[in-house]
C-alpha cells in the first residue's frame, strides 16, 4: 500500500515541486520509522540478503560433517529451490543471467537432500549446466567442495598449498598482499586442500551427469592460454602443475610446519570475532579445517565456530506467501554499518544531538572501537589501532569505510563523554590517514593492496584477490575529513582529490566498488568533493551531474542493476529503487543542482512510494518469488548483497538534503 501522492505546490523555477509540507511529513514518518527499528542496546542491524549459494553451501557443510538439524536442512532446501530460474539455472542477483558455479552447487545440494535427478526442476538445471560447459566451468571454490564429496578430483583443482603462510611479509608473494577476505577464506581452504577430506556419497547423490560427455571423458585440468604462450596465466598454470607433481610424489618438506602455522594463524583470528573474518565463506571453511586438523565435534573451538556460523541463520515460519517454513543464511551481520548510517541520517533529519536514543547509539559505536592491531598492521607499522569494523565483533579487520561513516555519525551527537569521544575520533582519523594508499585513495581493509599479478593465480577465479583504492570509499572519507575541519590545503586531501578526478569515466560517472554501481560511486564522489570545497562549477562536477540527469528513468526515479559490472554500457540502467534514487538525488544536490526537473521528479518519486509507516519497499516479484532488489556489492561479478537498511536511511538522507537545499534557495531568493 502506498501513501497518497503529495500535493503539488505552485511551480518554482518553471517546474512542479512537491509541497514542502509533504516533504516534511515524509521526513518525520521516515525518522520515526527508523527510530522504531533501533535495538534496545542502541544499535541498528538490518537483514543482509544474498543468493542461494548460502543455503547450498549450508547443506554441503552439514552433509560433509554428518551434522545439522534435518528439519532446518529441509527448510534450507525449500528456500534454495524457490529461487530457481525458469531456464533451470540460479542467478547471483534477481533478474540476472544464470551462473554456472551457483547452479552446480544448488543442483548438487538438492541431490544431497534426496531430490531425484528425474525431478523436473533438476532436469531443467542439468540441461542448462551442460549447455554452458558443465562442472569443469565452475570456479575453484565450488570444485574444492565437490572434491570433498568425491565429485571432482583434488589433483585437478588449482593447488592451494598451506606453505603460502610461511612466506614472510617482505616476500613479494605473501598472504598480506591479497585482500583480507580472500586471506581469511584461503588459509583454512589451504588446510582443507592439504588434508583432502573425503566423504563417500551414494551414486544417487552424485553429479556425474553434469560433466559434458561424462566425468570419465571430461578434461579436468586447467587449460593453458594458446593465444599468448608467454603470459602470467601460463606461468602460474605451469607452477600449479609442478605443485601437483610435488604433491603426488610427497615432496612436501615444509608441510608439517606450514599446517601448524596455518592452524595458529586461524586460531588467533577466531578470537575477538564472530567467526573467522566474520564472513560466511571463511567461517564455513574454518569449521571444515578444524575438523580436518583433528578437532573433535565437542572441542570448544569447533563448538564456538559452529555457533557463530549458525547465528547467521534466519527461520521464516509458514505464511500466506510461503505455505512452507524456510530457513536462509546471511553472509554476515552489519550492525556497525547500519548504526552509523542510521545515526547520521537521523542527525541530518533533525533528531536532537542530546536525544537519549542517539547517545545510546553513539556509546554502542564507541564500545566497538578497535584497540588491537590486526592484519592491516603488517604493512602499516607504528600506527596506533583505531577505527571500526562492519560486524558485531571483528577485531582483526577494521575497515576505512565503516570508520569514516562512524565518524560522520559521531559528529551528530553531543556526548557527555566529550573528551573521550574526541580521543577516539582523533585516533580513528590518524588511522585513516595512515591507511591512505600511494595514489591518494583508500582501499577498504589494507593499504596498497594492488599487485595485479595475483589475479592470474589459478585459484583467484573468484575475482576478489585484491583490495585496491576506490573512489566511493575515498569520497566518503573526504566528506568525513571536511566535517572535522580538514581542507584542500592539506596535502593528503589534495592527493585524494587528484586520485578521484583521475578515475572519472569519460561520460562523467564514477565506478562504485561497494554499491551498485556507477550511481553509487558518483554520488559518494560528489558528496566528498562538495564537502571538501571543490566548486560546483568545475567541469568534472557538472559532467557528473549531467550524467545522473541523463540516466534518470521516465518514472522519475533511478536504478541500476548488477549487470553494469559485466557490461559498463548498461551503467545507470535498471528499474527505479528507493536507495538508488536517493543516491542520485544526493549526488545532484551535492553538485549544486537544486533547480532541475530531475530533482523535482526524483523527490516526488520517493514521496509517492513511501509506505504509510514511513519506510520504503525495495523488492521485485510476487508471492513466493518476491526478492529484495540488489543495490549492495560484495565482489563485483561474483557476489552481491541486499541491505534491508538501505531502503530506509538513504531516502531519509535524500529528503533531508532536499529540504535544506530548498530552504537555502528560499533564503537566497529572499535576499
Q: Give the residue numbers marked as catalytic.
A: 401
Q: Please give the full DSSP string across 97-120, using - where no structure is assigned.
A: PB-HHHHHHHHHHHHHTT--TTSH
Alpha carbon 477 to chain centroid, angstroms: 18
Cα atoms found within 13 Å of the Cα of residue 629, Cβ hemisphere only: 21
3-state helix, strand, coil in the chain (%, to 5): 50, 5, 40
Count of beta carbons in the 10 Å neighbourhood of residue 469: 26
CA distance 182 to 184: 6
* Helix residue ranges per DSSP H, 379-490: 400-410, 418-434, 471-483
Q: Which of 666, 663, 613, 647 is nearest to 26 (CA)?
A: 613
Count of beta carbons in the 10 Å neighbourhood of residue 621: 13
Instruction: Take residue 167 and report the three cell numbers written for it.
Output: 612466506
CA distance 403 to 408: 9
CA distance 292 to 284: 13
Kindly report the three-state secondary structure assignment for every residue of 629-663.
Answer: CCCEEEECCCEEEEECCHHHHHHHHHHHHHHHHHH
| Those residues with Cβ within 8 angstroms of residue 65's Cβ, 6 or more apart along the chain or in another chain | 287, 288, 291
| Those residues with Cβ within 8 angstroms of residue 378's Cβ, 6 or more apart along the chain or in another chain | 169, 176
CB 168 within 8 A of CB 174: yes
Cα atoms found within 13 Å of the Cα of residue 547, Cβ hemisphere only: 26
CA distance 460 to 466: 10
Kindly report the three-state secondary structure assignment for every residue of 120-170.
Answer: HHHHHHHHHHHHCCCHHHCCHHHHHHHHHCCCCCHHHCCCCCHHHHHCCCC
Instruction: Please say whether the dihedral angle defined by the alpha carbons of residues 538, 543, 545 and 546, taken in this order, is positive or negative.
Output: positive
CB 117 within 8 A of CB 126: yes
Total residue length of the chain:
671
Q: Which of 370, 372, 378 is nearest to 398 (CA)?
A: 370
CB-based burial label for 293 (10 Å; 0-12, 13-18, 19+): buried
Instruction: Take residue 39 and report the three cell numbers written for it.
Output: 535495538
* Strand 639-643 relative to strand 632-635, pairing: antiparallel
Count of beta carbons in the 10 Å neighbourhood of residue 262: 25
Phi, psi of 572 (to 5 degrees): 75, 10
CB 659 within 8 A of CB 20: yes
Q: Which of 657, 631, 635 is nearest to 479 (CA)?
A: 657
CA distance 522 to 593: 14
Amino acid at each position: 500500500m502506498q501513501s497518497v501522492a503529495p500535493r503539488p505546490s505552485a511551480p518554482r523555477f518553471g517546474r512542479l515541486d512537491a509541497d514542502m509540507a509533504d516533504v516534511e511529513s515524509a521526513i518525520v514518518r521516515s525518522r520515526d520509522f527508523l527510530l522504531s527499528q533501533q535495538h534496545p542496546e542502541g544499535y541498528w542491524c538490518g537483514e543482509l540478503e544474498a543468493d542461494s549459494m548460502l543455503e547450498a553451501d549450508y547443506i554441503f557443510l552439514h552433509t560433509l560433517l554428518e551434522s545439522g538439524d534435518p528439519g532446518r536442512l529441509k527448510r534450507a532446501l525449500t528456500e534454495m529451490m524457490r529461487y530457481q530460474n525458469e531456464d533451470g539455472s540460479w542467478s547471483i542477483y534477481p533478474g540476472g543471467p544464470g551462473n554456472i558455479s551457483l547452479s552446480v552447487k544448488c543442483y548438487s545440494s538438492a541431490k544431497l537432500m534426496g531430490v531425484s535427478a528425474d525431478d523436473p526442476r533438476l532436469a531443467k538445471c542439468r540441461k542448462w549446466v551442460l549447455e554452458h560447459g558443465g562442472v569443469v566451468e565452475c570456479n575453484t571454490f565450488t570444485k574444492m567442495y565437490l572434491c570433498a564429496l568425491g565429485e571432482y578430483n583434488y589433483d585437478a583443482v588449482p593447488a592451494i598449498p598451506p606453505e603460502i603462510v610461511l612466506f614472510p611479509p617482505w616476500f613479494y608473494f605473501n598472504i598480506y598482499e591479497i585482500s583480507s577476505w580472500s586471506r581469511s577464506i584461503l588459509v583454512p581452504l589451504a588446510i582443507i586442500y592439504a588434508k583432502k577430506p573425503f566423504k563417500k556419497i551414494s551414486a544417487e547423490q552424485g553429479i556425474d551427469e553434469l560433466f559434458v560427455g561424462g566425468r570419465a571423458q571430461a578434461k579436468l585440468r586447467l587449460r593453458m592460454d594458446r593465444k599468448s604462450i608467454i603470459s602470467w596465466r601460463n606461468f602460474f598454470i605451469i607452477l600449479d602443475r609442478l605443485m601437483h607433481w610435488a604433491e603426488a610424489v610427497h615432496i612436501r618438506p615444509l608441510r608439517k610446519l606450514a599446517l601448524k602455522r596455518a592452524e595458529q594463524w586461524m586460531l588467533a583470528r577466531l578470537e575477538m570475532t564472530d567467526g573467522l573474518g566474520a564472513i560466511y565463506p571463511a567461517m564455513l571453511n574454518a569449521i571444515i579445517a578444524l575438523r580436518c586438523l583433528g578437532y573433535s565435534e565437542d572441542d570448544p573451538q569447533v563448538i564456538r565456530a559452529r555457533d557463530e556460523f549458525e547465528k547467521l541463520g534466519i527461520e521464516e515460519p509458514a505464511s500466506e506467501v510461503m505455505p512452507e517454513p524456510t530457513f536462509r543464511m546471511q553472509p554476515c551481520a552489519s550492525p556497525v554499518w547500519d548504526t552509523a548510517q542510521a545515526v547520521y541520517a537521523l542527525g541530518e533529519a533533525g533528531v536532537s544531538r542530546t536525544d537519549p536514543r542517539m547517545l545510546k547509539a553513539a556509546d554502542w559505536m564507541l564500545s566497538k572501537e578497535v584497540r588491537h592491531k590486526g592484519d592491516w598492521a603488517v604493512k602499516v607499522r607504528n600506527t596506533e589501532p583505531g577505527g571500526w569494523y562492519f560486524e558485531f565483533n571483528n577485531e582483526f579487520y577494521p575497515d576505512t569505510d565503516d570508520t569514516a561513516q562512524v565518524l560522520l555519525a559521531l559528529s551528530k551527537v553531543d556526548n557527555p563523554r566529550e573528551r573521550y569521544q574526541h580521543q577516539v575520533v582523533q585516533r580513528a582519523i590518524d588511522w585513516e590517514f595512515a591507511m591512505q594508499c600511494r595514489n591518494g585513495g583508500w582501499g577498504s581493509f589494507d593499504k596498497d593492496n594492488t599487485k595485479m599479478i595475483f589475479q592470474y593465480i589459478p585459484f583467484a577465479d573468484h575475482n576478489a584477490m585484491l583490495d585496491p583504492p576506490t573512489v566511493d570509499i575515498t569520497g566518503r572519507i573526504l566528506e568525513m575529513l571536511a566535517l572535522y575541519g580538514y581542507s584542500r590545503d592539506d596535502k593528503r586531501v589534495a592527493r585524494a582529490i587528484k586520485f578521484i578526478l583521475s578515475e572519472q569515466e569519460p561520460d562523467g560517472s564514477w565506478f562504485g566498488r561497494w554499491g551498485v554501481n556507477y550511481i553509487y560511486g558518483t554520488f559518494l564522489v560528489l558528496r566528498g568533493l562538495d564537502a571538501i570545497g571543490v566548486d560546483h562549477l568545475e567541469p568534472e562536477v557538472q559532467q557528473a551531474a549531467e550524467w545522473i540527469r541523463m540516466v534518470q528513468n521516465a518514472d522519475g526515479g533511478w536504478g541500476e542493476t548488477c549487470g553494469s559490472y559485466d557490461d559498463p554500457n548498461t551503467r545507470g540502467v535498471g528499474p527505479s529503487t528507493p536507495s538508488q534514487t536517493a543516491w542520485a538525488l544526493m549526488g545532484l544536490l551535492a553538485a549544486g543542482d537544486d533547480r532541475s526537473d530531475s530533482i523535482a521528479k526524483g523527490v516526488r518519486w520517493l514521496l509517492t512510494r513511501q509506505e504509510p509507516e514511513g519506510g520504503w519497499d525495495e523488492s521485485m516479484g510476487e508471492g513466493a518469488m518476491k526478492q529484495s532488489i540488489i543495490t549492495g556489492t560484495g565482489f563485483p561479478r561474483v557476489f552481491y548483497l541486499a541491505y534491508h537498511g538501505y531502503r530506509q536511511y538513504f531516502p531519509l538522507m535524500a529528503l533531508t538534503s532536499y529540504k535544506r537545499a530548498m530552504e537555502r534557495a528560499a533564503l537566497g531568493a529572499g535576499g
